[in-house]
Amino acid sequence: MPSSYNLTDLTTLLDAQLLGDGECIISGIGDAATATAGQITFISNKKYLPQLDTSAASAVLLAAPLDNCAVVNQLIVADPYLAYAKLTLIFDNRPKTPALIHPAAVVDPSAKLGEGVRIAAGCVVEAGAEVGDHTELCAGAVVGPNAKLGQHCLLHANATIAHHCVLGNRVKVHSGTTVGSDGFGYAPSRDEGWVKIHQLGRVVIGDDVEVGANCAIDRGAIKDTIIADGVIIDNLVHIAHNVTIGKRTAIAGCVGIAGSTEVGAGCTMGGFVAINGHLKIADNVHFNGGTVVTKSIAEAGHYASGSPMQDVRSWRRNMVRLSQLDEWVGRIKKLEDQQ
Amino acid sequence: MPSSYNLTDLTTLLDAQLLGDGECIISGIGDAATATAGQITFISNKKYLPQLDTSAASAVLLAAPLDNCAVVNQLIVADPYLAYAKLTLIFDNRPKTPALIHPAAVVDPSAKLGEGVRIAAGCVVEAGAEVGDHTELCAGAVVGPNAKLGQHCLLHANATIAHHCVLGNRVKVHSGTTVGSDGFGYAPSRDEGWVKIHQLGRVVIGDDVEVGANCAIDRGAIKDTIIADGVIIDNLVHIAHNVTIGKRTAIAGCVGIAGSTEVGAGCTMGGFVAINGHLKIADNVHFNGGTVVTKSIAEAGHYASGSPMQDVRSWRRNMVRLSQLDEWVGRIKKLEDQQ
Amino acid sequence: MPSSYNLTDLTTLLDAQLLGDGECIISGIGDAATATAGQITFISNKKYLPQLDTSAASAVLLAAPLDNCAVVNQLIVADPYLAYAKLTLIFDNRPKTPALIHPAAVVDPSAKLGEGVRIAAGCVVEAGAEVGDHTELCAGAVVGPNAKLGQHCLLHANATIAHHCVLGNRVKVHSGTTVGSDGFGYAPSRDEGWVKIHQLGRVVIGDDVEVGANCAIDRGAIKDTIIADGVIIDNLVHIAHNVTIGKRTAIAGCVGIAGSTEVGAGCTMGGFVAINGHLKIADNVHFNGGTVVTKSIAEAGHYASGSPMQDVRSWRRNMVRLSQLDEWVGRIKKLEDQQ
């Protein structure tokens, strides 16, 4: 892609309406407050409108024309935040891996590579694996035996896809992440200790999924672990064996979901949400960060757990009382009886 | 291994008693509910027995013969779940790394490799390292200088064993995991900031240990970090320097154990358990998921912390009260004084 | 470095005062309780002084001379713990990567390497990257396109630095860690689902920073994610896009910091601290392990959240009451009204 565009071009690319100078050249995106000349900015929330008064941006994405605005070039769009997202693709600066198999990559002769596949140095594609058209593997990525990647996928450096796992199209996996590690399954034996249950299932990921850095998604024990289309997952997320995640669910960093839990579609989880195993979470359930989920949830809604942050002294005093709470409730009841 | 067995063979392999047709061919394992013809299933909990009524499985592992069962071929074993675990080894579908040193692996000339070692492309075995007989390194695994792996170990792709660390026999380490990262040790200095304490100890792991994906186990500061025989560790677990973990303790995902804590044998930890440093946890202590452990525990038993999940509105109201709890207890006391 | 020193040499190296035999040979460091002959130990806290009574150590670092001490050779220093830290550098046993580019490393012709750079087998240095003088890359480390590492940096095995990210001098990054993964940014779209906001910023890390194993530090969305000089970060820490961390802040394991939060200088965070996005944390704020931070903090001090660990039965009873707490407070108020 070119590194700069004039506003007429951007107007077309974003399906916008242009107020101002179509010849103005834009070479990047900036925050309203810190953008420099030649950059375009956006306002997705009215409370940030005052930032435009002093903005040096050469153009702005807005939901409606703004009179007397310091930024005279305005691109009017239905959803400025969505238009900004599309703009980031236009100005994406990530250097792509060249469209060839680097001589220092190792591709097993039995692997099948699609057209336009990009494989960087240090990658390993094992026997029987399939890599779809235009998929890109950055340095050190490993595609295990018989794994299958769709088209236009992107494995960042040092990502690992284990044997037999399946990625749909346009799946992105960030560095350090493991797709297809063994689930944590053992049979206890007095004589032999924990006897490993070899994990025979796969991880099957749909289309348009993104998995952040240093996540671990376990393969199923017998059946598969399933991540549906459009799911987005942040960093350091643990998804155990046989979990299923419904379409377009969004999972923030440091979340852990224990085995066999079924999460619905359209859910959101803040950071550090911890979900027990064998639960069923309905569609459109939203968890605050840090929620510990120990029961199934049948109804859409917002849920939370966790205790409030305080200065250490107040917190200690309150926590002593919390550890006696049932007793204090008993004393309230006794007082009530005495009325 | 062959990909299918007749029931007579499986009966022998599992030390079972066969009811039914010994010639019946089994080519895989299925859930009772979804198994197809040619698969064997298992019932380890009576509540799942009704699933057999409609199961298409060709055989079932049971603790006792079941009359009038839709699945007529029954293998009677003392512990169906344990027998299922053993069956998963028989039907394990993970393609093994070929029994040779891949030409695109790098093994330092001073490293010692045992018999039947398997080293995939992209692996690096550094100077002075030892890899025991029949140990397998998947693509991109790194064995640091002077590290020592026992026999029949398995490093999954992109696992890292740092210098001087020791793994016993039959140790499995999953992708992305680091054994032997530096402990978090620094001396504060007004002039120089945090002055690093170089970590001179090792990680020493016993036999039959499994470590999940994307874990970090730090080397000791002076002495070693010790993981005893038979310990099992799930994904994204952090074990700090000088920690010791007793035999057969099981640690679920996202657990963190701070420095110098000693965990006993036979303990279990649910996900997200957080244990402070310099504590001593007795044998056979069981922590619910999410328990924050700030004190040593001298007695076996079940422990927990954390607050209940609620809808966000109820939770907010209760949390306001929790942050005032000591004050409300004072008001209860005052009411009692007034009686 | 040599593997042993006499006490006269160590006295000079540590700027100490020697009481005892300068010819005594020291070949390692030991704990006071378990040190053997030939080792030096240290006492940084008076409560451990009794350990010297039975110590076999050949010398000890002390803040003041100790009469009648079983360890007769004493090095008197202003800060024994700091002197111990410096001693660990002297006795550091990590085998360094040889000072050359391993033939099985891949360095793009357009990358710039400083003097004395050490690059192990399996490393990949991508186009346009810069690696400063005396920086060391252990096996399998990846330096992405246009990334820039300062002098005397150390990337442990399988660490990943993504494109355009910048590391200052003397930065250490442990195995499995990702610097520069994409921030978790998406625009919701009814028609298209989560539309990715490509992350155009960098991670910029100052001097003398150490990042533990299996961390993920996201690049900024538009501006950069900033880690200031002297920051230390333990394992499995998640730092989201556009976060800024002030000088010499220390972050323990399993912490997560959400997007755009500004953390001050000189802060400390215990393990599992979770900080919401878009907050501002003042300098010298200290969080207990497990604190969930949902509000900005303007004042230095100690803060905590979380609930106390108990045996499971007591905990369950108290938690039932906690989920009714607002109701019980109402009953206290009613009782007060009836007085």
Mean pLDDT of B19-42: 96
Compute the distance between CA of residue A75 and CA of residue A64 in angstroms, rounded to an integer: 9
A198 is known as an active-site residue: no
Q: What is the mean pLDDT of chain B?
A: 96
Q: Which residue has the tokens 């960042």?
A: A156
Confidence band for B268, pLDDT divided at 50, 70 and 90: very high
Q: What pLDDT is attached to residue B26?
A: 98
Residues of C in contact with B123 (CB under 8 A): 122
CB < 8 Å to B289, chain A: 258, 274, 276, 292, 294
- DSSP symbols for B266-302: T-EE-TT-EE-TT-EE-TTEEE-TT-EE-S-B-S-EE
- Taking the C-alpha atoms of residue C235 and residue C202, their distance in angstroms, rounded to an integer, is 21
Helices A312-322 and A325-338 pack at an angle, to 10 degrees, of 60
Distance separating the N- and C-terminal Cα atoms of chain B: 80
- The confidence score (pLDDT) of residue C307 equals 86
pLDDT for B179 equals 98
Q: Give the gap in angstroms from C-alpha C18 to the nearest C-alpha of chain A.
A: 43
Matching residue, tokens 């350091």: A236
**The one catalytic residue among A134, A198, A241, A278:** A241
Q: Show pLDDT as tens, one digit a residue, over chain C (339 residues).
A: 568 999 999 999 999 999 999 999 999 999 999 999 999 999 999 999 999 999 999 999 999 999 999 999 999 999 999 999 999 999 999 999 998 999 999 999 999 999 999 999 999 999 999 999 999 999 999 999 999 999 999 999 999 999 999 999 999 999 999 999 999 999 999 999 999 999 999 999 999 999 999 999 999 999 999 999 999 999 999 999 999 999 999 999 999 999 999 999 999 999 999 999 999 999 999 999 999 999 999 999 999 998 889 999 999 999 999 999 999 999 999 999 987
Q: How far apart are CA C198 and CA A29, in angstroms?
A: 11
Q: Is B84 on the interface with A (CB under 8 A)?
A: yes
Query: Which of A305, A321, A331 is opposite residue B310, by nearest beta carbon?
Result: A305
Low-confidence stretches of chain A (pLDDT beneath 70): 1-2
Residues C241 and C220 sit within 8 Å (Cβ to Cβ): yes
- Contact assessment for residue B176 and residue B157, using Cβ atoms and an 8 Å cutoff: no
Per-residue pLDDT tens over the stretch B154-203: 999 999 999 999 999 999 999 999 999 999 999 999 999 999 999 999 99
State residue A2's pLDDT score: 61
Kind plus residue range of the DSSP H or E element containing B336: helix B325-338
Query: Is the CB of A271 less than 8 angstroms away from the CB of C238?
Result: yes
Candidate from C82, C157, C308 with C-beta closest to B305: C308
Q: Which pLDDT value is given to residue B1?
A: 54
SS3 for chain C is CCCCEEHHHHHHHCCCEEECCCCCEECEECCCCCCCCCEEEECCCHHHHHHHHHCCCCEEEECCCCCCCCCCCEEECCCHHHHHHHHHHHCCCCCCCCCCECCCCEECCCCEECCCCEECCCCEECCCCEECCCCEECCCCEECCCCEECCCCEECCCCEECCCCEECCCCEECCCCEEEECCCCEEEECCCEEEECCCCCCEEECCCCEECCCCEEECCCCCCEEECCCCEECCCCEECCCCEECCCCEECCCCEECCCCEECCCCEECCCCEECCCCEECCCEEECCCCEECCCECCCEEEECCCCCEEHHHHHHHHHHHCCHHHHHHHHHHHHHHC
The pLDDT of residue B231 is 98
ipTM exceeding 0.95, yes/no: yes
pLDDT of residue B2: 61
Per-residue pLDDT, A1: 54
pLDDT (tens digit, 9 = 90+) per residue, B286-324? Answer: 999 999 999 999 999 999 998 889 999 999 999 999 999
How much is the pLDDT for A3? 83
Structure confidence at residue A247 (pLDDT) = 98
For residue C1, the model assigns a pLDDT of 54
Q: What is the pLDDT of residue B306?
A: 87
Q: Is the CB of B238 inside 8 Å of chain C's CB atoms? A: yes
Give residue B3's pLDDT. 83
Residues with Cβ within 8 Å of C249's Cβ and at least 6 positions away in sequence, in order, are C228, C231, C232, C263, C264, C265, C266, C267, C268, C269
- Residue B42 is inside which H or E element, if any? strand B39-42
Tens-place pLDDT, residues A276-330: 999 999 999 999 999 999 999 999 999 999 888 999 999 999 999 999 999 999 9
Q: Give the angle B105-B109-B113 at the CA atoms, nearest 5°.
A: 70
User: Which residue is catalytic, options C156, C198, C241, C302?
Assistant: C241
Cβ of A339 under 8 Å from any chain B Cβ?
no
d(CA A90, CA A85): 9
Mind spelling out the 3-state secondary structure of C82-148? HHHHHHHHHCCCCCCCCCCECCCCEECCCCEECCCCEECCCCEECCCCEECCCCEECCCCEECCCCE
B138 at A interface, C-beta within 8 A: yes
Predicted pLDDT of residue A306: 87
Q: Mind telling me the catalytic residues of B?
A: 241
Q: Is A316 on the interface with B (CB under 8 A)?
A: no
Say yes or no to pLDDT of B250 above 90.
yes
| pLDDT computed for residue C2 by the predictor | 61
pLDDT of amino acid C244: 98
